[in-house]
A and B are shown apart, each in its own frame.
Chain A
Amino acid sequence: MKLYRTLTLLISLFIAFSVTDAYRSQTIAAPAPKGTGGSAPQGKIILYTSVPQNIVDRLQTDYKAKFPSVTLEVFRAGSSEVEAKMAAEKQAGNIQADLVWVAEPSTYEDFKNQGILLKLVPTEANLLPSEMKDKDGYYFAGRLINMVVAFNIKANPKPGAWKDLLNPVYKGKLGFPTPVSSGAAEASVRTLADTPGFGWDYFKQFRANGGKQIKNNSAVQEQLSTGELLVGVLLDFMIRDAKSKGSPVDYVWPAEGAVFIPSPIAVIKTSKNPEAAKAFVDYLLSKEGQNSMVKLGNFIPVRPDVTGPAGTPSLGQIKRLTTDWRVVREKRQDTKDQFEAIFTK
């Protein structure tokens, strides 16, 4: 008897399961895309992104209000997970995403290199500064992120430059997100290594000063908040976000210049609904879209005609180091090897 009871349980679970799934599919099912030029976009598009959850949630709502006949589905994960998922999908057949929006341009150079991106001309592309778009027209910055020097308010004196990470007063309480899995960190390491006056020596000295590699940006943010780290390298929007919520942290635009990272969005070549996908890119690059990014995510807008978060410099005022995204891509293995050699010896 017990066996039958268990079997009944199993079957009911199974039914519950199918019903839930059917329900879910129904709520998000939408008619097949037409995609004829001129008519309003419709159908379904899928976005793969590493942009924080609350921001994508809001963009999703806003986009829905503007394009009620388009269903936008979002898969949000870390940049690494997004990239791994896309690679497996490509290997197995087709990338399922219509749009991809992850950390930094060198990854998009990889994407371009492997021929998975669609060339496009967003409506307001002309309003973007040239550094915010791929010269071949494959990707466009949907947000701007910067690697800056962040600190716990207990840090005394306050740091003001990259070189301050070598100051012995912070000894042992310094963190740099590891470049082996974070794209923004990889770009920063490469940029500093290639900047005159820094080079790999900078990292050797950082290590000698008790500097640590940290799992990712959010871990640096947490450890700065608790005071476990006094000074760390972090993305500007994350530290602004923590500060605005009340965590005892702050940041400076390093005197030598920040690492300036346009964080691109692109349409996937195999997209079955490129019209709707392009409409999303247009929306994101529009004044309205960028205003949302400022309000929700504390991001500095990618276009000069939108005002940034309080207390941030305008686009033209940001002092930056030179990052060559092709070099970041080409020297990827070297960056990893050199960094590993410095930190594990």
Chain B
Amino acid sequence: MLNRISLAVVILGSSVLLLGIFVVYPMSTMIIQSFIYNSKFSLQNYLLALRQPGNLIALRHTLEISLGSVVGSTILGTLAAWIVARTDLPGRSILRTAFVFPFLIPPFVGALAWRQLLGPVGYLSKAYQAFIGVDSVPWSIYGVGGIIFVMTMHSYPLVYITALGGLERMNPELEEAAQSSGAKIFRVMRDVTLPLMAPTILAGAVLVFTTEIANFGIPAVLGYSENYFVLTTKIYQAVAKSFASPNALSTAAALSMVLAIIAAAGIITQRLILRGREYAVLSGKSMQPNLVRLGSHKSWILPSAWALVFIASIAPVLSILITSLIRAYGLPPTLDNLTLQNFAQVLFMNAAARRGIVNSLILAATSATLIAFLGALIAYILVRTKLPGRDLLDFFAAMPYAVPGTVVALAMILAWLKPLPLTRIVLYNTIWILLIAYVARYLTFGVRSTTGSLRQIHPSLEEAARICGANWLQSFRDVMLPLITPGLFAGWFLVFMPCLRELTVSILLWSAGRETVGVMVFNLQESGHITLCAALAMMMLAVLVAANMITRRITGGRLGY
């Protein structure tokens, strides 16, 4: 008995400790910073921030675009997951991969691609004008509509991935029961499947919400010309002139806390919706879910699914590809103007870009693996224990993702610039600070995707193992772990992909020799070399796709998409 308790305490305790080191400590430096005004402790930063009408408008805009994209992403992501996991639609295995694709594209590159497609002189806009015979288009990629659209295209895979994990291990008996009682497929989906899927869908929706309130790339590319500012662009403006005011960092910290609180509100809302309901749909019996036969509905579902793939995945990538092949930006993409020069230049003349690809691969794989374990343990604490203050754990795990990456990076600098206590080891300007920052930033993916799965597992399974004499580790390893494995894998990939293309955290934390590919892509764009930027972005996408395929091959299809 003692053994059983102490093991659990040691393992869970160390995960809390790691959370403390990786997340709570650096984030606390930022929280404290938000209360420092003219070197004194004060609420002034918050008061000043809230007194500026511009910030209140930005707050409204932030809510507008994040809620808008949550609605869009949840609908698209859930439908996509249902089609892939539960129907007999032909070509599902290709769709399975294709639906994830937009998530591989860095948001700012995606926004640039969409500007090239749907902007006033975009490829699709021109095609539309030529087709209809007009000289304007009835849409605008700039401002609120465009931002929500691009965000939705970019983040529906989050819902898709989490929902897919849940659907693939759902007990099909309930669906079958409904179907054999004569319910039509859409009725089954609405009344049985969807309610059972609520926890995983909501988990995905909360991830989208936190992603988009903290998104900087998309509103920065598509917002300025319409004078449409959000909190992240306001925060960026505050830190951009950090030496102009002694309180610049504090202002940014206070505005970031507003974002963190909004994210917490999102998580609490999710809790309230799920409270008091039973979602333990996994009972441990082996199952081979029967697929829903779509029958005549195939005729419209199939083209719609491929339309989504074309719009969300293929079109933006094609647009980046064209830019990467063009001799000079702005020239029409005729044969004479195409060249491989940009690729050659990035690949052969830019050692930092090559190093960046290697560094990013290593960082992404390591962060994803660490997060899979740490996230699972924290999720277990949240769902299965009565540890006091566990809600605070949840909040801290989510916080680094809910604030702009730049702010996480600033917090890391404040926390880790000095040597570690009692040693001369300095993490700053090593690759370790990037690792710590990535783990902090994406921990919530591990926690979210596993809490979703854990909620679906009935506690009776674990109790049964304990009754049979298994200690905590054995029951966790032999019972819980296999059941949450799909969730863990989903979480692994959810972390791996954005880490591989990470930009906003790395941009302040990289150093010579520890470049990341995302930073190199951004630097090329920011230096005015958009064609080179597109070439490197294409190479990064190729690496991401290859990494996905290799992972899939190695794990026999259980990991990867």
Interface, chain A (partner B; CB < 8 A): 2-3, 6, 9-10, 13-14, 16-17, 20-21, 24-25, 27-28, 46, 52-54, 57, 73-81, 83-89, 91-94, 96, 107, 110-111, 113-114, 116, 152, 175, 178, 180-181, 212-219, 221-222, 224-228, 238, 241-242, 245-249, 329, 332, 340, 343-344
Contact = CB atoms under 8 A, between A and B. Distances in A.
Contacts of A91: 33, 249, 414
A83 B527 contact: no
A74 B435 CA distance: 21
Interface string B120-148: 11000000000000000000000000000
A119 B241 CA distance: 23
Contacts of B406: 81, 84
Given A21-B432, A73-B511, A215 B528 contact: no
A247 B54 contact: no
22 contacts: A10-B370, A13-B362, A13-B369, A16-B362, A25-B430, A53-B520, A75-B512, A77-B519, A80-B241, A83-B242, A88-B409, A89-B417, A110-B243, A213-B225, A216-B526, A217-B528, A225-B530, A242-B330, A246-B331, A248-B331, A249-B330, A344-B57
The 5 closest A-B pairs by CB, nearest first: A225-B330, A87-B242, A246-B328, A80-B240, A52-B527
Contacts of B530: 218, 221-222, 225
Contacts, number: 203
A110 B477 CA distance: 57
B523 A53 contact: yes
Contacts of A28: 512-513
A332 B242 contact: no
Q: By DSSP majority rule, is chain A's interface helix, strand, loop, or mixed?
A: helix
Interface in B348-383: 350, 352, 358-359, 362, 365-366, 369-370, 373
A143 to B, nearest CB: 14
A232 to B, nearest CB: 11
B411 to A, nearest CB: 8
Contacts of B237: 180-181
A218 B514 contact: no
A283 B305 CA distance: 60
B512 A78 contact: no
Interface residues of B, number: 74
Given A20-B362, A73-B512, A241-B528, A181 B330 contact: no
Interface of B: 33, 54, 57, 112, 116, 119-121, 220-221, 224-227, 236-237, 239-244, 248-249, 327-331, 350, 352, 358-359, 362, 365-366, 369-370, 373, 406, 409-410, 413-415, 417-418, 428-432, 435, 477, 481-482, 485, 507-508, 510-514, 519-520, 523-530
Given A54-B527, A77-B523, A216-B526, A85 B54 contact: no
Given A77-B508, A80-B240, A93-B417, A227 B431 contact: no
B527 A218 contact: yes
A247 B328 contact: yes
Given A21-B432, A73-B512, A10 B369 contact: yes
A152 B329 CA distance: 12
Kindly name the residue among B239, B248, B525 whose own CB sees the greatest number of chain A CB atoms within 10 A.
Answer: B239
A80 B64 CA distance: 27
Contacts of A329: 244
A181 to B, nearest CB: 4
A48 to B, nearest CB: 10
A86 B370 CA distance: 30
Given A53-B527, A178-B224, A245-B328, A24 B431 contact: yes
Given A24-B514, A214-B224, A76 B523 contact: yes
Contacts of A78: 526
Contacts of B119: 226, 228
A27 B167 CA distance: 49
Given A107-B241, A248-B330, 13 more contacts: A17-B366, A77-B523, A80-B236, A116-B243, A178-B224, A218-B530, A222-B112, A225-B329, A226-B119, A238-B528, A247-B328, A247-B330, A329-B244
Contact of B331 (A80, A217, A219, A247): A247
